[in-house]
Structure 1
């Protein structure tokens, strides 16, 4: 069964506050909330909304969690994910990272699924002088934020991770950068939603668009709902196409990423790495079972998800230069996915003031897993008519609309 078809079995009426949604209760045939997109963001919002008392239907064009969430590495590294000028994104990432321990515990308590939250820390290694100078700048940013970081000599870094290449120029140790397993997170969220009597999950629903009445959003496709959450990742712009004539823009584009999943070639081999290793063009993320995630390319190739020889060549070249012993691992999987990028790399979160009934949870680019808890909290609060502290101009859904840009 793809999910429980029990939308009418909510927990009774629940009134929102202010401009928020008024939960319809069991007397109405309509769901309170329709969520378009069943990646980590959409599933997390649906879970929060259902726990708040809403009756929720989740619609997914393909299989739940099979797009960007399936390809993600799961690093919770807000400083490393934001460029130096992206202070708003950095603040959002730091906020969400602080919410992750409680989010992981709640999911495991609700489902019994271990989401792979590990406090491993990260080594940010430098392969050349430019990378070493970039590490100095990153260390300064972390010091300004009060985030602990230690600068390491090459010999110190190799004592922590003996597999590192002897040619590295130095490293930063960031003990507060952690990691989760995105596929386990998706599995936990799906288990929680499928067990909830007020949630319906519809997979393989095809390419749906928002249902509109003028600029107001009244549901998804043939599904009418009191409120609609757009969490369709790289496909969000297409889903929001009916709103373009009303001056509502959802400028989300696909950014392709290819990666490799590697595992020990022989049973019983010790793990290659103990902690995440990042470098200027990618990362290595170890799992407890010895698997290592090697990623990821950044390509503006539209909706192309082909794995290419060039992409794999670049990843394996980086592996050879950073952890040469990794070339002895076996290839378990090659995969490509599409990150949902926005013009400023910061997501679109919350109620859209120019499109009544529409709430956004999209545009997370490289930070979808990191930002899952704060996304769920911001959007669920908006559905209740409340405001989460993380909501604000930096993530405002309307900030790219023509009227907002002109102002």
Structure 2
């Protein structure tokens, strides 16, 4: 008979979604986290952009991201119905080019995606201005991904926690030091960057990302209606709509567990954002924050069983929000003994001894 109790370690969007879906599937679920939703999930931009962020050669990453994006409309709609939260903040994304080299890159990505069955439109200057008049007139080309949503990450945390409570999940506000000692038939390790400390040998490292939250002020040009992404002076930057303004992100620093927001990080984000949207300097700087992305060596998440009792849901990197529905489906399938084919490339076995060292 299948075991029916499961402990989920970690209360970010990955752990919460797994707990919710496992409880609905008939498991008695206990979630362990001293401060639910306080980590990278609270800082994230909320982009769901596996297509426009793709690059030739990253076919496995594209397939996994697209499979999760396909799940998002139903997943999000169910959460909205269940909790009353409004999750979706935009219905498309636009990656823009400021110079000839960036424009060439956009054409390369468009051609590569087209060959894999995903058609994205290239927009010229006039089309860009018509679609998003607040953007700088110096932008010369854009790649429009009409199917790429964005969600409010903080509304998502609230919705998932409410859905878990309604489904009967038990919350225990304590840190876990030994996952295998927990009193449950099955254990799911979904603890973000902390997972590497809890499961020695797990190849997950922290990468800091700084993010700004800007509020719109009266008389200032409204924010774009869709997510805007670009590279400015070689630095990635994005603008993600929120009801009250924008989220601007994100820096990338290999700096261990440091979550301090730096002057240089804020300076670069503001300068790069203003290059894309000149009026952004008139917005209110409401909040600065930094989170730690749990990165894996190949940028794919690590989803699957490592012992008879322990299942990993780790290494989601900068795509944790995007990969939430797929991760939940994959882990619940693993708990039932029927691994999800769409998550096959994410299995822990690809790192060799990760499974056998803990048998």
State the TM-score, normalized to the length of structure 2: 0.94
Deviation at 1:333? Answer: 0.5
Pairing of 1:339-378 with structure 2 (within 5 A)? 339-352=293-306, 355-378=307-330
User: CA–CA distance in 1 between the matches of 2:270 and 2:277?
Assistant: 10
Aligned partner of 1:314 among 265, 268, 283: 268
Pair 1:174-2:174 in alignment: no
Partner of 2:171: 201
Q: 2:239 maps to what in 1?
A: 284
Unpaired stretches in structure 1, ≥5 consecutive residues: 1-14, 17-21, 24-31, 212-217, 242-248
Aligned with 1:109 (options 81, 89, 96): 81
What is the rounded CA distance, in whole Å, between the counterparts of 2:166 and 2:105 in structure 1?
47
Q: Name the SS of the counterpart of 1:75 in structure 2.
A: coil
**Which residues of structure 2 form unaligned runs of 5+?**
none
Which residue number corresponds to residue 92 of structure 1? 64
Instruction: Give the aligned partner of residue 254 of structure 1.
Output: 206
Secondary structure of 1:79's partner? coil
The equivalences for 1:1-400 within 5 A come to 15-16=1-2, 22-23=3-4, 32-60=5-33, 62-116=34-88, 118-119=90-91, 121-197=92-168, 199-203=169-173, 205-206=174-175, 208-211=176-179, 218-219=180-181, 223-241=182-200, 249-266=201-218, 271-280=222-231, 281-287=236-242, 289-352=243-306, 355-392=307-344, 394-400=345-351
* Cα distance between partner residues in 2 of 1:107 and 1:225: 27
Asked if structure 2 preserves the Cα contact closer than 8 Å seen for 1:34 and 1:56, the reply is yes
User: Aligned with 1:163: secondary structure?
Assistant: coil
- Aligned twin of 1:11: none
Q: Hey, which bits of structure 1, 4+ residues long, moved more than 4 A?
A: none
* Inter-partner Cα distance in structure 1 for 2:80 and 2:136: 37
- CA apart distance, 1:172: 1.3
How many residues are matched? 352
Superposition deviation, residue 398 in structure 1? 2.7
Q: CA deviation at 1:164?
A: 1.1
Shift of 1:271: 2.3
Give, in angstroms, the shift of residue 117 of structure 1: 5.7
Q: Compute the RMSD of aligned alpha carbons.
A: 1.7
- Using the TM superposition, give the Cα deviation of residue 131 of structure 1 relative to its aligned residue in structure 2, in angstroms: 1.0
> Over residues 336-357 of structure 1, what are the superposed CA-to-partner deviations in whole Å (9 max), with x where a residue is unaligned?
00000000010000212xx221
